[in-house]
Structure 1
Amino acid sequence: MAPYIHAYRGKTFVVGIAGELIAAGKLHFFAQDMAILHAMGIRLVLVHGFRPQVAEQLKAKGLESRFFQGRRITDSVALDCAEEAAGQLRFEIEAAFSQGLPNTPMANSTVRVLSGNFLTARPVGIVDGVDFQHSGVVRKVDAAAIRRANDSGAMVLLSPFGFSPTGEAFNLSMEEVATATAIALQADKLLFLTEIPGIRENLQDPDSPIDTELALADAEKLLGALPAPSQPTDTAFYLRYCVQACRGGVERSHILPFATDGALLMEVFTHDGIGTMVVDEKLESLREADSDDVGGILQLIEPFERDGTMVKRDRTEIERDIATYTVIEHDGVIFGCASLQPYPEAFTAEMAALTVSPQVQGQGDGDKILKRIEQRARGMGLNSLFVLTTRTMHWFIKRGFTPVDPDWLPEARKRKYNWDRRSQVLVKKLG
């Protein structure tokens, strides 16, 4: 978690929670996770939804919710219900962030919640012959006032209500408020905690894995192929807001399942997260190393040097050979590396220091690095690639390497071979 804690201090996150999260009794656990983000110096804006709460209020009056194209039609009775639900939820949210019992995650926490009339709205009007009455859309977000509130150390709470210059109230959607606010603030993250777990890799298979990262171009393409959403559980419902946020300058937008305890922390503080992240470009980068990567490489390989898996390399050696390294990074953190040491007189090269962080092992990063090293070797006109290893020979054999006698090594490398270590030598022909 440490690299993310350092990276996100002082950053701005806008978090939108579906009213279903509160209805499911998850509010106290969610507040604990938000309190941790607040304690780490992250500037927070929380936007709550209230669909089920408004529906419950209407049902108590013997009325049904009415929607068109996924948006609520808000008559005067529905507006009263929305105002009542918003007041109750604001009270519950402020109470949740006021917890402080000993021996709980909220002990010693101080999260001040500040809310107000930060949103100006206008009516939706009549769309395809349907009068949305008191339903509105965001016209303006008072970003300067929200920033001042964050500067004071407070978390800003926004209800899905906006007001016209004449003082008329409009019922807004949580998703639109959160998206407009994130764009206005140029937030670093927009996170939706929702009823769905994210976007699945195979939309026809409800059990297929979640696609943890979508490039904006891919998300736009997917959105274009999906039918218009009519309810929050439709795949396109939250995805369209994530795409809109990224187009508007928000670096990353996320869809997370509120049903998973700790989903917010897992998404923010782990390599692959738990939901789907939409980003303007791939955060994971496979590239050649430069001098700024020396510290990250040292940190990555040090545990493997300590347990004897790898031969120790000092900083001077890595700085000298940095141009030979390939690294794979995610969000500015190096998770894998390898060095290519050519022996052109023998038309071969050694791949050394192949390392993948234990956090991401088994996810294919090692294969990506190997493929890039092979490409670099072919580009040098070399015919083969060899490695020396004491513990990972089976991994290399599965990828086309063949054991050979140490006498096979080029003369310059054979002179440096450590006979006490007795490393196995494996060679792969480059076609």
Structure 2
Amino acid sequence: MVAPSTPAAVSVRAARPADVPAIAELSARFAAEDLLLSRTPAQIAGRVGEFLAAVNEVRLMGCVGLSRRRRGLLLYNLCVAPDAQGQGIGALLVDHAGRVGAALGCRLLVAVSKHSGHWFVQQGFTELTARQMPAGWAHAFPPGRGSRLYVRPVTQPGFAEQSIYQNRTESRNL
């Protein structure tokens, strides 16, 4: 799992309501290419507490949504600004997601993507076939999208911001 070095000025934090317009704008670029499901700003605002944001001193550079599903933490809406790709920001987001998952007692990170699986494999994910998919995950595959399921173990606990997700995620009975 080799990732390019991430610029020191980039940090990952919980998304804030003020980040919604930037998340929506960034996500819309990928939805227009059919790489992400389209989400309105209102939909993102309703789930902003599930998002991590990769930011520098100027702007939001990437984001990922996290949704607990029993023993797994689903990563959704993972995207990095086109001009910031190749700098390790996506890997940084996945690493932080793993730490959140570990803090919540999840065993797996789960990603559903139409994009090339090569990047996910580089991040330690393994592609699962439909037959290998855990029960209850079929809902993550909208019919006809051609999405693939990727899983990897979470990282070890120790994420400094773990408590921001504890209350919101555990309160759901997913």
Short-chain TM bin: 0.7 to 0.9
Cα distance 1:424–1:416, how it changes in 2: closer, same or farther (>3 A)? closer
TM-score, normalised on structure 1?
0.33
8 Å contact 1:343–1:410 — kept in the other structure?
Answer: no
The CA distance in 2 between the partners of 1:395 and 1:409, in whole Å, is 22
Deviation track 1:229-264 (CA, whole Å, cap 9, x = no partner) reads: xxxxxxxxxxxxxxxxxxxxxxxxxxxxxxxxxxxx
State the AA in 2 paired with 1:327.
A
Amino acid at match of 2:21: G
Query: Could you say which residue in structure 2 is the equivalent of 1:401?
Result: 125
Which amino acid in 1 is paired with 2:117? Answer: M
Amino acid at match of 2:34: G
Q: How many residues align?
A: 148
Partner SS for 1:406: coil
| Counterpart selection for 1:303 from 29, 42, 52 | 29
After TM superposition, give the deviation of residue 416 of structure 1 in Å. 4.5
Q: Aligned residue for 1:290? A: 16
What is the CA-CA distance between 1:283 and the residue it aligns to?
4.6
Q: Distance in 2 between matches of 1:392 and 1:335?
A: 21
Q: Match of 1:382, SS?
A: coil
CA contact (8 A) 1:374 1:430 kept: yes
Q: TM-score, normalised by structure 2?
A: 0.79
* Aligned mates of 2:19, 2:34 — CA distance in 1: 23
Q: CA offset at residue 398 of structure 1?
A: 1.4
CA distance in 2, matches of 1:416, 1:397: 19
Task: Give yes or no for contact 2:99–2:154 (8 Å, CA) kept in 1.
Answer: no
Deviation at 1:286, TM superposition (A): 1.4
Question: In the TM superposition, what is the alpha-carbon distance from 1:429 to its structure 2 partner?
Answer: 1.8
1:331 corresponds to: 57
Q: 1:379 aligns with which of 100, 103, 115?
A: 103
Paired residues for 1:163-178 under 5 Å: none
- 1:74-113 matches, cutoff 5 A: none
Distance 1:424 1:416 in 2: 10
**1:349 correspondence with 2:35:** no
| Residue type of the alignment partner of 2:154 | L
2:140 and 2:125 map into 1 onto residues whose CA distance is 21
Which residue of 84, 102, 111 maps to 1:360?
84
State the Cα distance separating 1:284 from its structure 2 match. Answer: 3.0
Larger-gyration structure (1/2):
1
> 2:161 matched to which residue of 1?
none
Q: Secondary structure at the match of 2:82?
A: coil
The equivalences for 1:44-55 within 5 A come to none
Partner of 2:147: 423
Quick one: which of 414, 419, 426 aligns to 2:138? 414
Determine if contact 1:291/1:319 at 8 Å carries over to the other structure.
yes
Question: 1:410 & 1:316 partners in 2: Cα distance?
Answer: 30
Deviation at 1:415, TM superposition (A): 2.9
Gaps of 5+ in 2: 1-6, 156-174
Structure with larger RCO (C-alpha < 8 A, sep 6+): 2
Root-mean-square deviation (CA, aligned residues, Å) is 1.7
SS at the partner of 1:359?
A: helix
Q: Work out the CA distance in 1 between the residues paired with 2:129 and 2:145.
A: 14
Matched, 1:369 2:76: no
Distance in 1 (CA, whole Å) between partners of 2:36 and 2:54 is: 19
* Distance (Å, rounded) in 1 between the aligned partners of 2:113 and 2:121: 11
Secondary structure, aligned partner of 2:84: coil
Once the two structures are TM-superposed, the CA of residue 410 in structure 1 deviates from its matched residue by 4.3
Please give the alpha-carbon distance, in whole angstroms, between the structure 1 residues aligned to 2:124 and 2:20: 30
- Structure 2 Cα separation of the partners of residues 335 and 393 of structure 1: 22
Instruction: Give ranges in structure 1 of 5+ residues lacking alignment.
Output: 1-271, 273-281
Q: Show the counterpart of 1:6.
A: none
- Which structure 1 residue ranges, 4+ long, deviate > 3 Å from structure 2? none
Per-residue deviation, residues 43-99 of structure 1 (Å, max 9, x unmatched): xxxxxxxxxxxxxxxxxxxxxxxxxxxxxxxxxxxxxxxxxxxxxxxxxxxxxxxxx
